[in-house]
Structure 1
C-alpha cells in the first residue's frame, strides 16, 4: 500500500532561519591531511549560549563546551530527553529517549517534532477504477497516519501553553450542552450566563488559535 500522507517537521527551515538571525557564524575548514578539508559554518558569537557536555569530566573526559542555545533554538548537551518507544528485551516500552548532542530540543519553547499526519488530498477508494469517481487530488492508497503518541504529546504542550482558565473553558465546552452551561460554570445565570459563556469561549478559542499558529 502506498503511504501518501503529510510529513510534518517542526521547526521548519524558515522558522530556524528566523530563530538564529542574531547569531554570528564563521566559515571553518575541517582538518585534512594535505589540506583542502571541507568548509562548514560554526556559530562564534551573537545571541548564543554555551554549556558543558553531559558527562564532561567523567573518566578523564576533556570534551570542549558545546552550544546549548542559538537564538530561539535550544540544543541538547546530551542530557535532555524526549518521549518515545524503545525496543527492549521485553518488547516496545514507552519512556525517555536521550536527544543526541546538538539535537534540537525546542524552538521558541515549542518542542521539535517529526511525524506523519493527514493524507494528501482525498483518500481514494481502492475498489474504484482510477478514472471513475476519483478526486483529482487523491492518491490511490493514501491514508492517514496519525501517531497517537505524538498527538498526546502535542496536546500536553498546547495545554501548558494556554492559561489554566482557558484550558478549563475549552474542557468544559467539550461536554457542555450549550453556552449557558459554560456561563453558569462561571457563576452567571439566565441570559447573562449565555452571553458570558459565549464571550468566554470565544476568548478561549482566540488564545488557542494564537498558540497553534505560533
Structure 2
C-alpha cells in the first residue's frame, strides 16, 4: 500500500527497497495506515508502520485485553478503544479513515474495498508454506479459526493447491455466539449475525463475514 501511494504522490514507480531504506521518508510519514483488530493483525500493522515510519491508528473493541493494547502502543500505534464489539470497531475505523484520508489495511472486505484484504489473505500463505516444509505427508484434518473467514479461506485454498486430492479435511471453528460463517453456509450466501455478548473465543467475536473470503 505504501509503495502504491508513494508512487502516486511522486509521479514515478517507487521500489519497496527504496521505501525500506528511507529514501521517501517525508512522504511515508504523511501516509496514515489504520485498521480494526482484536490484537494480532493490529500488532503486525503497528510493527510494519514503525519499521517504515508511517503513522498508525488501531481500533480495538471493549473486550480486547490491556496487554494487547499496550503491545501495539509500544510499537508506536495510536490505539482507539470503542465501547462496541469487533464489527463496530471495523465500521468506526472505516468511517473515520474515509473522513480523514487514511488508508485501511484490513483482513475483511466491504463493497469497493477488496485489494488490501486480498493481499492480507495472500500473506497467510507464508505460515502455510512453513507448515508444508515441515511435513513429510499431509495430515488427515486441519482445524482453522473462522473470524471473518479470510485466514480460513486462504489456508484451505493453499492446502488444496499443495496436496491436491490428498488435501486434508478442513474444519472451520467459530463461537456459537458469533457464527457468521455457519449461518452463511446454511443460507448459501454471506450472512451476518448479531453478536450480543462476548464469547470465550475472545479474539473472534465476528458477526460479519468478509465478502471476498466467502466468495472465494
TM-score, scaled to structure 2? 0.26
Comparing both structures, which one devotes a greater share of its residues to helix?
A: 2
TM-score, scaled to structure 1? 0.26
